[in-house]
Each structure stands twice: as C-alpha cells, then as structure tokens.
C-alpha cells in the first residue's frame, strides 16, 4: 500500500507502513460486499485491545499478539466514564424487554448499566435485571409532546453519574444513572418556513466539558451551543451553514479548549470554545479541501494529535494542525479507523464478505 510522501514545504510526513500482514477478522462468503459493514468501536481500558463489529458479529483484536476473538451474540459493549469500553454478556438487549441499544454505559461504581435505546432509556443492574425504563417522549419537563424521539447523539459524564442524549429539533435531555430525567434543554432555533423545522436543528454531537458543570452540543447546521448542565446557555456561535444532508463531524479536545469541526463539504477547522476560528486544516496537496468528504474526526485521548478521516484516507495531524501522516484507504480498504487513547495505535478494517483489519504503530 502506498502512502503519500510529498507535501508542501514545511509539512512533515511520517510514512509508516502498516504493521505486518492484514488480519482476518471475520468472513461472510455468502454475502455481497455492500452487505457487510465494519465499525471500529474503541479500546478496552489500557488501550491494548481494540473492539469492532463485523456485520452482525462483535470481535476484539489484541494489539500485541494480533489475535482476533469473536464475541458471543448476546454481548453488549458498554462505555466507562473514562472513555474506555467494557465487554459484558447480558440479556439486557433481549427483544422481549429492550429495544436494540443505540449505546450502553456503566455508572461510576459499576453497579448500574444505562442503555440508550431508540425510544427509551433503560437502567439495569450489572446482572441484567431491569430497574427502570423511561420513554423519552413521555418525560418532557415542559409537558410538550414530540411523539417518538430517536437519539442522534449521546455522551456519558466523566463522573459516571449522568448521560446526555441529543434528539431531532434541537432537544437535549440530561438523565441520571438512576433513570430520572434531570433537565431538558431546547436549542438551535431556525426561521425556516417549514413547520417541521420550527423546533430547531438536530443535535449531531454532544460532549461533557471537563469542568464537570457544562456540555457542548453541535447541531446539524454547524452551530455550537455551550450549556451549563442545568440549562443556562453560556455561549452560542456558528461554524458555518450546512444543509441537513451535510451535517458536520465534531469532537471536543480532552482539555475542553478546542473543538474540531469538519463539514461534509468544506475545510475542517479548529475553534476555541469562545467561538474564535483558530485555524483551518487545509489540505496541502489540493490547496484547500480534503480529497473527499470527512466521515469522522477525533482527538487522541491525550489531545496531542487529531485524526481527520475521509472516504479516501486518514490524516493524522498535530494539535497545531501540522500534517504528520497520510494513510490511503485504497488497497487496504480501511474503514472507520480507530485511534487509541494514547494516540499510538491506529486500527482500520475493510467492509466486504471477508473483513480484514490493518494495524499501524504511530510515533
């Protein structure tokens, strides 16, 4: 696989090849390429095991031994407050009692499992016993009826005591791990003549601020709202105008000072939470736009590097925006690569009847 090696003057390239041969993750010989998807889910605590989904199967990759293990069908992946993942086997996702989870999180004490479903929030004991089930649309503090609310974004508090859920039309709900709705926030109003838009834009990204007292929400049109947890708006600013089909990708730096925003059509950019544009991550090969639309952006866990993933490649950049490495997704077929918390491991996989994983060790 060839990596780009020649950039504009002043840019630094680390042309590292993937480590070893591709690793076979799973095989679906009876399915077409488009029927099998690969998703990189994240890392277990410690960052030495990478979790992924392969079609309807879950698996984990040991980065040291390069061994792949397929997980049982009833496995649920739950998030820890520190951002790492935990593998559990529980009947919590059984069709008789629960919707297919959109996300799952453990409380800080590890005693409760919070499952974000498409229509309701469930709280269960670690053993899987159902404690509470709350339908989002029936727990609006203002008494309004929105009908069925489907989560568009979610985040677990660093202290493991609450979960934020973002919905269409600018609605955010703050839930405790006891299953009680604490606050409802309505933001991102629009002036469209379409009655369906009057409530506001969809929330596409949520993150707790490391101060523990506020959170950041990004809407489908690129507007950023910084809220206190009790619902007071601290600041609101726009990073650009996007249509509903051009919703931006976003991520908040671990120290809570920077916001990385990448529109589907446009140049990724870094913003301060005060609303100041700090720099645009122009592509040195094209003189501006990335080679293809961004599919994901993220900071490493230590905030030293950031990742911009497009349909054609994965770019690793420094916090100052310098392009450190460019990894082509052609040939390797890398899809939704996952950057480890320490910024040293990069894992990607290819969709298709036979899913292959690639592993890079970054400097």
Query: How many residues in total does the chain contain?
Result: 363
Q: Which CATH architecture has domain 75-247?
A: 7 Propeller (2.130)
Say if CB 241 and CB 227 are below 8 A apart.
Answer: no
Residue spans per domain, the chain: 75-247
**pLDDT value, residue 246:** 60
Lateral strand order in the sheet of 323-328: 294-299, 305-310, 313-318, 323-328
**pLDDT value, residue 182:** 92
How does pLDDT run across 173-193, given as a tens digit for each residue? Answer: 999 999 999 998 887 765 444
**pLDDT value, residue 256:** 95
Task: Spell out, as residue ranges, where the chain has pLDDT lower than 70.
Answer: 1-17, 31-37, 89-101, 139-148, 189-200, 241-246, 286-291, 329-339, 341-343, 351-352, 362-363
**pLDDT value, residue 331:** 53
| Other beta carbons within 10 Å of 168 | 18
CA dihedral 79, 80, 85, 90 (to 10 degrees): -60
Structure tokens at 115: 């499952």
**pLDDT value, residue 291:** 64
**pLDDT value, residue 310:** 79
**pLDDT value, residue 63:** 85
**pLDDT value, residue 303:** 86
**pLDDT value, residue 36:** 64
3-state secondary structure 88-126: EECHHHCCCCCCCCCEEEECCCCCEEEEECCCEEEEEEC
């Amino acid at each position: 696989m060839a990596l780009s090696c020649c950039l504009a003057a002043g840019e630094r390239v680390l042309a590292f090849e993937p480590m070893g041969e591709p690793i076979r993750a799973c095989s679906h010989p009876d399915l077409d390429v488009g029927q099998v998807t690969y998703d990189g889910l994240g890392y277990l605590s410690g960052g030495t095991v990478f979790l992924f989904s392969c079609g309807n199967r879950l698996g984990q990759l040991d980065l040291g031994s390069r061994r792949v293990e397929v997980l049982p069908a009833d496995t649920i992946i739950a998030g820890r407050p520190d951002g790492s993942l935990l593998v559990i086997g529980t009947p919590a996702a059984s069709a008789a009692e629960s919707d297919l989870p959109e996300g799952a999180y453990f409380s800080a004490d590890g005693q409760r499992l919070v499952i974000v479903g498409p229509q309701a929030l469930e709280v269960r004991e670690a053993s899987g016993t159902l404690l509470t089930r709350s339908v989002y649309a029936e727990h609006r503090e203002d008494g309004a009826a929105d009908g069925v609310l489907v989560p568009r974004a979610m985040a677990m508090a660093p202290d493991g005591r609450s979960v934020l859920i973002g919905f269409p039309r600018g609605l955010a709900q703050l839930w405790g791990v006891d299953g009680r709705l604490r606050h409802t926030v309505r933001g991102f109003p629009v002036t469209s003549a379409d009655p369906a838009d009057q409530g506001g834009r969809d929330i596409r990204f949520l993150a707790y601020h490391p101060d523990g007292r506020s959170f950041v929400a990004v809407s489908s049109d690129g507007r950023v709202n910084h809220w206190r947890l009790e619902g007071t708006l601290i600041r609101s600013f726009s990073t650009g105008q996007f249509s509903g089909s051009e919703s931006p990708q976003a991520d908040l730096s671990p120290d809570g000072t920077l916001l990385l925003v990448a529109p589907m059509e446009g140049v990724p950019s870094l913003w301060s939470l005060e609303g100041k544009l700090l720099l645009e991550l122009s592509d040195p090969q094209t003189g501006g736009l990335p080679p293809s639309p961004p599919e994901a952006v993220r900071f490493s866990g230590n905030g030293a590097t950031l990742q911009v993933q497009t349909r054609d490649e994965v770019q690793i950049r420094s916090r100052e925006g310098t392009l450190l490495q460019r990894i082509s997704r052609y040939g390797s077929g890398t899809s939704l690569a996952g950057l480890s918390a320490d910024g040293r491991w990069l894992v990607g996989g290819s969709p298709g009847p036979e899913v292959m994983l690639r592993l890079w060790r970054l400097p």
